[in-house]
Structure 1
Amino acid sequence: MQTSQWASEFYTQHEQSQAAASLYPTPPSETIPGLESSGFNTMLGLTETPTPLVSPAHVFVQSELANSTESLFPSVPQELEESTDQFMTVSTSFHPGAHPVESDLVLSSADGVLFYVHASTIDKASPTALSSFLSFSTSGIKEDIIPIPELAPILNIILHTIYQSSCAQNSPSSNELIEAIDKLPRFGITPGTLVRPNTPIYQLLLSHAPIRAIDVFTMAAHHNLRELAEAASSHLLAYSMDNLSDEMAAKMGSYYLKRLFLLHMTRVEEAKKLLSQPPGFHPANKKCTFEDQRKVTRAWALGTTYLAWDVRPGLSLSRIQNVFEPLVSTMECTACQDMVKKRIREVVTGWAAVKCTI
Structure 2
Amino acid sequence: METDSLYPDADDVWMPESWPSTGDDSRSGLFDDVVPEYLGFPLSAEFQYVSVDNELHQILDEPVLEYSSFSRSAAFNEHFVDADGNAPDFNLITNDGVHFAVTASMLRSSSHNDFAGLLASSSSTATTSLSSPVLNLVLHGVYGLSPTIYAPSVDDLAAAVDALEPYGLSKKALLARDASLFQAVLMRAPSEPLACYSLAAHAELEDLAILISPYTLSLDLSALTNADADRIGPRYLRRLFFLHLGRVDALKRVLFSPPGLHPTTQDCSAEDQRPLGRAWALEVAGMSWDLSPNMSVISLETRARAVGSNVECIECLDCLEHRIRKLLVDWSLVKTTI
TM-score higher than 0.5 here?
Answer: yes
- The aligned amino acid for 1:227 is D
Distance 1:210 1:133, change over 3 A: farther
Specify which of 109, 120, 123 is matched with residue 108 of structure 2.
Answer: 123
Distance 1:244 1:90, change over 3 A: same
* Counterpart-to-counterpart distance in 2, 1:294 and 1:60: 120
Bigger strand fraction: 2
Distance 1:340 1:144, change over 3 A: same
Distance 1:167 1:141, change over 3 A: same
Q: Give how far 1:208 is off.
A: 0.5
Match of 2:241 in 1: 261
Show CA shifts across 1:195-245 (max 9, x none): 121222211111100111111111101111111101110001121111122
Asked if structure 1 preserves the Cα contact closer than 8 Å seen for 2:89 and 2:124, the reply is: no
Asked if structure 2 preserves the Cα contact closer than 8 Å seen for 1:185 and 1:191, the reply is: yes
Match of 2:133 in 1: 153
237-246 vs 171-180, greater mean Cα deviation: 171-180
Show CA shifts across 1:295-349 (max 9, x none): 1100000111111111111111111112111223311100000000110111011
* Counterpart-to-counterpart distance in 2, 1:197 and 1:75: 65
Q: Give how far 1:170 is off.
A: 2.3
Specify which of 274, 289, 296 is matched with residue 269 of structure 2.
Answer: 289
Asked if structure 2 preserves the Cα contact closer than 8 Å seen for 1:281 and 1:339, the reply is: yes
Q: What stretches of structure 1 of length at least 5 have no aligned partner? A: 1-58
- The aligned amino acid for 2:129 is P
Q: Give how far 1:282 is off.
A: 0.3
Give 1:196-275 correspondences, 5 Å limit. Answer: 196-275=176-255
Give 1:105-116 correspondences, 5 Å limit. Answer: 105-116=90-101
For these two proteins, the number of residue pairs brought into alignment is 286
* Counterpart-to-counterpart distance in 2, 1:107 and 1:217: 31
Asked if structure 2 preserves the Cα contact closer than 8 Å seen for 1:105 and 1:142, the reply is: no
Match of 2:67 in 1: 85
- The aligned amino acid for 1:101 is N
* Counterpart-to-counterpart distance in 2, 1:285 and 1:232: 52
Three-state SS of the structure 2 residue aligned to 1:202 is: helix
Distance 1:123 1:77, change over 3 A: farther
Bigger helix fraction: 1
Asked if structure 2 preserves the Cα contact closer than 8 Å seen for 1:103 and 1:117, the reply is: yes
Pair member with larger Rg: 1
* Counterpart-to-counterpart distance in 2, 1:204 and 1:109: 22
Asked if structure 2 preserves the Cα contact closer than 8 Å seen for 1:107 and 1:147, the reply is: yes
Asked if structure 2 preserves the Cα contact closer than 8 Å seen for 1:166 and 1:200, the reply is: yes
* Counterpart-to-counterpart distance in 1, 2:170 and 2:61: 56
Q: Give how far 1:75 is off.
A: 9.8
- The aligned amino acid for 1:231 is L
Specify which of 313, 322, 337 is matched with residue 293 of structure 2.
Answer: 313
Show CA shifts across 1:2-60 (max 9, x none): xxxxxxxxxxxxxxxxxxxxxxxxxxxxxxxxxxxxxxxxxxxxxxxxxxxxxxxxx65
**TM-score normalised according to structure 2 size:** 0.78
322-331 vs 201-210, greater mean Cα deviation: 322-331
- The aligned amino acid for 1:95 is N
* Counterpart-to-counterpart distance in 1, 2:54 and 2:261: 118
* Counterpart-to-counterpart distance in 2, 1:131 and 1:280: 68
* Counterpart-to-counterpart distance in 1, 2:62 and 2:72: 26
Match of 2:315 in 1: 335
Show CA shifts across 1:180-207 (max 9, x none): 2122223223433311212222111111
* Counterpart-to-counterpart distance in 2, 1:302 and 1:263: 27
Show CA shifts across 1:82-140 (max 9, x none): xx433222111111121131222210011111111112211222312x240418xxxx6
CA RMSD between the two structures: 2.4
* Counterpart-to-counterpart distance in 2, 1:192 and 1:254: 22
Q: Give how far 1:61 is off.
A: 4.0
Match of 2:45 in 1: none
Q: What is the percent sequence identity of the aligned residues?
A: 31
Match of 1:103 in 2: 88
**TM-score normalised according to structure 1 size:** 0.74
Asked if structure 2 preserves the Cα contact closer than 8 Å seen for 1:134 and 1:142, the reply is: no
Distance 1:157 1:285, change over 3 A: same
